[in-house]
Structure 1
Amino acid sequence: MTEKITELIDTNLASVIRDTYALDWHGIHGVSHWIRVAENGLRLAEETGADPRVVTLFAFLHDLCRRNDGKDPEHGARAAIWIAEHQWALGQLTSTALDQLRYACEFHTHRR
């Protein structure tokens, strides 16, 4: 599973993520959390047919714009904006995949 993740998150994107994330890299919402989300999401993607690239990008981006590890209800919306501004770092995504990724990040903390 980790091999699949490293295929989908290249070193350039990993560097951009590392430079952007303002909290503790090894904290509760950091890289270990993202890897667990990716692993579980990829398992679900196999069952549901979800796009593994969108799932993995979501895992690594959904908490990227947190300002703290506590209550931060707008962090998903900030992540969606970040995605729109950093499409160049995400590799080849269809407009549908990009929309799915932005929607998932924006609304993962509350209902629309």
Structure 2
Amino acid sequence: MEYLISNQEKAEKAREQLDTIDELLGELEGRIEKLHNAREWLAGTETRLQDISKNSENQLKLLADLVKTEKPVNKTEGATTVGTRENVLKLFRSGWTQDAIANALNLSQGEVQLILELAEK
């Protein structure tokens, strides 16, 4: 009994240290959880960026192919060529906006709209 009474102070210090260690472990678990969530977010972001990059490359390849195959159009004739109409449709189906198509193919927005409207019929 005397031994327990004499070592009571040491036991109290040991208990306090265990409480401190327990608190630190709780904080570490919280930080580990935050780190895990951040890693998941980064992995998702990386996947989305890869998809965007792949889509951009495909769009550039399509545009390069269209520019290579497109013959110069004499604007004084008034009508667009079959190749130009096909290129407008390809770009539109690939998700390009009418404005972007007009700029890329050097057409007016009205010409692009007309080509798309006629293609629907």
**TM superposition score normalised by structure 1:** 0.30
* Greater helix proportion: 2
The higher-RCO structure (CA 8 Å, 6+ apart) is: 1
| Higher alpha-carbon Rg | 2
